[in-house]
Protein backbone atom coordinates (compact mmCIF):
# COMPACT_ATOMS: atom_id res chain seq x y z
CA UNK A 1 0.00 0.00 0.00
CA UNK A 2 2.81 2.42 0.84
CA UNK A 3 4.39 1.82 -2.57
CA UNK A 4 1.13 2.80 -4.29
CA UNK A 5 0.91 5.92 -2.13
CA UNK A 6 4.49 6.87 -3.02
CA UNK A 7 3.81 6.45 -6.74
CA UNK A 8 0.64 8.53 -6.43
CA UNK A 9 2.42 11.34 -4.56
CA UNK A 10 5.31 11.42 -7.05
CA UNK A 11 2.89 11.40 -9.99
CA UNK A 12 0.80 14.16 -8.46
CA UNK A 13 3.91 16.27 -7.83
CA UNK A 14 4.87 15.92 -11.50
CA UNK A 15 1.41 17.09 -12.54
CA UNK A 16 1.48 20.05 -10.14
CA UNK A 17 4.98 21.08 -11.28
CA UNK A 18 3.90 20.84 -14.90
CA UNK A 19 0.81 22.97 -14.28
CA UNK A 20 2.93 25.53 -12.46
CA UNK A 21 5.42 25.91 -15.32
CA UNK A 22 4.58 28.77 -17.68
CA UNK A 23 4.69 27.13 -21.10
CA UNK A 24 8.26 25.77 -21.06
CA UNK A 25 7.86 24.79 -24.72
CA UNK A 26 7.61 28.44 -25.84
CA UNK A 27 10.74 30.09 -27.21
CA UNK A 28 9.22 33.50 -27.99
CA UNK A 29 7.11 35.60 -25.61
CA UNK A 30 3.34 35.20 -25.79
CA UNK A 31 1.94 36.90 -28.88
CA UNK A 32 5.32 37.04 -30.68
CA UNK A 33 6.31 34.75 -33.53
CA UNK A 34 9.47 34.43 -35.61
CA UNK A 35 9.87 36.40 -38.83
CA UNK A 36 9.19 33.44 -41.11
CA UNK A 37 7.50 33.75 -44.49
CA UNK A 38 5.90 30.29 -44.05
CA UNK A 39 3.76 31.67 -41.21
CA UNK A 40 2.14 34.29 -43.46
CA UNK A 41 -0.81 33.95 -45.77
CA UNK A 42 -0.91 31.14 -48.29
CA UNK A 43 0.34 32.11 -51.73
CA UNK A 44 -1.88 31.52 -54.75
CA UNK A 45 -0.92 31.50 -58.41
CA UNK A 46 -2.68 34.81 -59.05
CA UNK A 47 -1.08 36.64 -56.11
CA UNK A 48 2.44 37.11 -57.44
CA UNK A 49 4.56 36.56 -60.51
CA UNK A 50 4.76 32.93 -61.52
CA UNK A 51 6.98 31.93 -64.47
CA UNK A 52 4.71 29.15 -65.75
CA UNK A 53 1.63 29.78 -67.86
CA UNK A 54 -0.66 26.96 -68.98
CA UNK A 55 -0.52 25.97 -72.65
CA UNK A 56 -3.53 27.02 -74.70
CA UNK A 57 -3.85 23.99 -77.01
CA UNK A 58 -3.93 20.24 -76.51
CA UNK A 59 -0.80 19.83 -78.63
CA UNK A 60 1.05 22.33 -76.46
CA UNK A 61 -0.13 20.46 -73.32
CA UNK A 62 1.27 17.18 -74.66
CA UNK A 63 4.58 18.82 -75.54
CA UNK A 64 4.77 20.37 -72.06
CA UNK A 65 3.95 17.01 -70.45
CA UNK A 66 6.76 15.31 -72.36
CA UNK A 67 9.17 18.06 -71.36
CA UNK A 68 8.26 17.79 -67.70
Query: CA-to-CA distance for 1 and 3, rounded, in angstroms?
Result: 5
Q: Does residue 8 form part of some domain?
A: yes
Is-above-0.85 flag for pTM?
no
Q: Does residue 36 form part of some domain?
A: no
Range of the domain at 11: 1-27
Q: Does residue 40 form part of some domain?
A: no
> How much is the pLDDT for 55?
93
Q: Does residue 46 form part of some domain?
A: no
Query: CA-to-CA distance for 46 and 51, rounded, in angstroms?
Result: 11
Query: CA-to-CA distance for 63 and 51, rounded, in angstroms?
Result: 17
- Say which DSSP state 48 is in: S
> How much is the pLDDT for 63?
95
pLDDT tens string 5-62: 888 877 777 666 655 566 667 788 888 888 888 888 887 777 777 788 889 999 999 9
Number of domains observed in the structure of the chain: 1
Amino acid sequence: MSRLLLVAVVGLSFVVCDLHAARPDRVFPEGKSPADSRLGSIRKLGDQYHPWSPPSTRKAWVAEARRV
